[in-house]
Structure 1
Amino acid sequence: MEFQVLDIPVPEGTNVIIGRSHFIKTVEDLYETMVTSCPSAKFGIAFCEASGKRLIRYEGNDKDLTKQAIETCNIISSGHVFVIYLKDSWPINVLNAIKSVQEVTSIYVATSNPVKIAVADMGESRLVLGFSDGFKPLGVEKEEDKKERKELLRRFGYKL
């Protein structure tokens, strides 16, 4: 068994959602979920099939994001992992809908930050050990930081 830490690309202006599912219909169901829960979003989806042909299945409405999702599935190479890259939207707009897809078993990460994944490579399969999202904290927010956070949420339209 070989332990590895892999860098997951998150291109500027995009978000990535990585999770686990259990069935070949995942890509189609996730596609339908994305277009119905946030029609303005551009996205690409890829899914690592764990048995049978063991292909990376894919769908999307944006060629570049779909290509990025396929490349990231190749990096992770763990059965039943799915990757969604999106732009013109935020994960908060689609996460609950994704979590309600029947075959989705978990979400590992949803972010625009740098991502690393720890895996154990066992030859024919890979075990996902965990993800890191962004960086370590540099301190505790002060009153001015709190004010800035609240203003940002209002600028994004998430608070009145």
Structure 2
Amino acid sequence: MQLHTVTVHKPETMNFILGQTHFIKSVEDIHEALVGTVPGIRFGLAFCEASGKRLVRRSGTDAELVELASRNATAIGAGHAFIVLLGDGFYPVNVLNAIKAVPEVCRIYCATANPTEVIVAETAQGRGIVGVVDGFAPLGVENDDDVRWRKELLRTIGYKA
């Protein structure tokens, strides 16, 4: 077995969701979950088929995002992995529960805009995601000023009342 580190390539502020599902039907179901949850959402979706033709299946509402998702899925190359790249102004917090509710979705590895590395194991059979490195290691523990800042931020951007 070999371990590989695959960097997710995307614009710096772009959010994405990386997960695992188990059926080709997932491509349409995840697409429908996204457009049904956030009208006008811009996204690209790619799914690594694990049997049959073993193609990277793709969908989305933005051709450039679909292409970028397809390139990232191809680089990861892990059976049944999927990646959703979200357009500017769209965030995982608004769609994550809808994606998790898709019956075929088994797991979400991360939902982030951080620089991300995907740890992939490769065997004679194929490739699988072991985990992710999402962002950077912490530099310390928040103090009272940091707590106040965090709470103010969440209220300023409308996620807390």
> Could you say whether these structures have the same fold, taking a TM-score greater than 0.5 normalized by the shorter chain as the test?
yes
Matches within 5 A, 1:44-83: 44-83=44-83
Tell me the SS of whatever aligns to 2:20: strand
Aligned residues between the structures = 160
Look up the match of 2:116: 115
Tell me the SS of whatever aligns to 2:13: coil
Cα separation, 1, equivalents of 2:14 and 2:119: 22
Cα separation, 1, equivalents of 2:57 and 2:20: 14
Look up the match of 2:97: 96
Matches within 5 A, 1:9-20: 9-20=9-20
Look up the match of 1:139: 140
Would the aligned equivalents of 2:19 and 2:83 in 1 still touch at CA under 8 Å?
yes
Tell me the SS of whatever aligns to 1:85: strand
1:70-127 Cα distance to aligned partner (Å, 9 max, x none): 0110110011000000032211111111011010011011000011111111244102
Cα separation, 1, equivalents of 2:76 and 2:106: 17
Cα separation, 2, equivalents of 1:42 and 1:124: 35
**TM-score, normalising length from structure 2?**
0.94
1:25-81 Cα distance to aligned partner (Å, 9 max, x none): 111111100001111321110000111111111010111111111011011001100
| Structure 1 letter corresponding to 2:106 | T
Identity, in percent, stands at: 48
| Structure 1 letter corresponding to 2:91 | W
| Structure 1 letter corresponding to 2:21 | S
Shift of 1:14: 1.2
Cα separation, 2, equivalents of 1:158 and 1:10: 25
RMSD of aligned alpha carbons:
1.2
Structure 1 residue runs of 5 or longer lacking an equivalent are none
| Structure 1 letter corresponding to 2:10 | V
Tell me the SS of whatever aligns to 2:145: helix
Structure 2 residue runs of 5 or longer lacking an equivalent are none
| Structure 2 letter corresponding to 1:18 | L
**TM-score, normalising length from structure 1?**
0.95
Which ranges of 4 or more aligned residues in structure 1 deviate by more than 3 Å?
none
| Structure 2 letter corresponding to 1:112 | A
Q: Determine if the alignment matches structure 1 residue 5 to structure 2 residue 5.
A: yes
Shift of 1:129: 1.1
